[in-house]
Amino acid sequence: MRVIAGKAKGRRLRVPKRIGVRPTSDYLREALFDILGSSIHGVRFLDLYAGSGAVGIEALSRGGAEVVFLEQDPGCLRILRENLEMAGLGPRRVVGGDVLRVLPRLIRQGEDFDIIFIDPPYGTGLAGRTLDVVASSNLLRPQGLVIVEHFFKEPLPQDIGKLSRVRVKVHGQTGLSFYERTSEGKR
C-alpha cells in the first residue's frame, strides 16, 4: 500500500496483518479522492475506524488542513502512528478508543469537520450505528460531506437525521456512500 498523490506520493504504508483488518485499497482511495478533487484542500477531516491511517494520510498528502484519526485497536494504532511518522505529514491528532464512545466526547467539545470518513469492520452493524451518531450531531460542518465505506450489500439509509445520501460508488464488494446535509439541516 502506498500514498497515491500529493506531498507524500509514493511513500509506502504499513498495513496491520490481522484477521478482520481490511485496508482501503489503493484503487478505492484513488477513486475516492478523484471524486473529492480539489475540495480536499484546506479541509478538516475525521477518519473513523482509521486502521493503518491510509485514507487520512492521503487527505493530508493532498492538502487537507488537519486530520483527526480515531482507532481502537492497539496494533492498528501503533502502525498508524508509524505510518504518520514515515509520511511526515501534519497537523494531525490520533485518538485511541471505541468510536461510539469517543464521538460523544468530540461532540461535547464542539469539534466539527468538513469531511467525515467512516470505515468500520464489515458485518458488525457499526456503519449504520456510527452514521446515526454523526447524523444526529453537529460534527459535520454545514457544507460538509460524510463518506461511509461499507460492504456493498449492507443496507444504509437514504436519509438519516440531518443527512441525505447523494451518491453511491461500488467497486467489487465495497461501496462508498456519500451523504450531505438535507436542506433543513443546512445552516
Q: Which of 167, 168, 157, 117 is nearest to 139 (CA)?
A: 117
Q: Is residue 116 a contact partner of residue 141, using CB atoms and an 8 Å limit?
A: no
Q: How far apart are CA 38 and CA 86, in angstroms?
A: 24
| pLDDT of 128 over the 60 cut | yes
The whole-chain average pLDDT of the chain stands at: 91
Grid cell listed for 181: 446535509
**Strand partners of residue 181:** 163
Helix 54-61 to helix 74-87 angle, to the nearest 10 degrees? Answer: 20
Q: Which of the two residues, 166 and 90, has the higher pLDDT score?
A: 166
**26-136 CATH pick, 1.10.3720.10, 3.40.50.150, 3.90.1010.10, 3.30.56.10:** 3.40.50.150
Among 13-22, 44-53, 146-155, name the one with the lowest average pLDDT: 13-22
Grid cell listed for 43: 479541509
Residue type, 33: F
**Strand partners of residue 83:** none
- Per-residue model confidence (pLDDT) at position 17: 79
Is residue 170 packed enough to be buried (19+ CB in 10 Å), middle (13-18) or exposed (0-12)?
exposed
Question: Which percentage of the chain shows pLDDT scores above 70?
Answer: 95
Q: Is residue 113 a contact partner of residue 95, using CB atoms and an 8 Å limit?
A: no
| pLDDT of 136 over the 50 cut | yes
Q: Where are the domains of the chain?
A: 26-136
Q: Which of 149, 182, 148, 140 is nearest to 164 (CA)?
A: 182
Query: pLDDT by residue (tens digit) across 23-77?
Result: 777 788 899 999 999 999 999 999 999 999 999 999 999 999 999 999 999 999 9
User: Locate cell 461499507: which residue?
Assistant: 150
Range with the largest mean pLDDT of 7-21, 87-101, 104-118:
104-118
Average pLDDT on 141-157 reads 93
Sorted by sequence, the CB contacts under 8 Å of residue 155 that are 6+ apart come out as 128
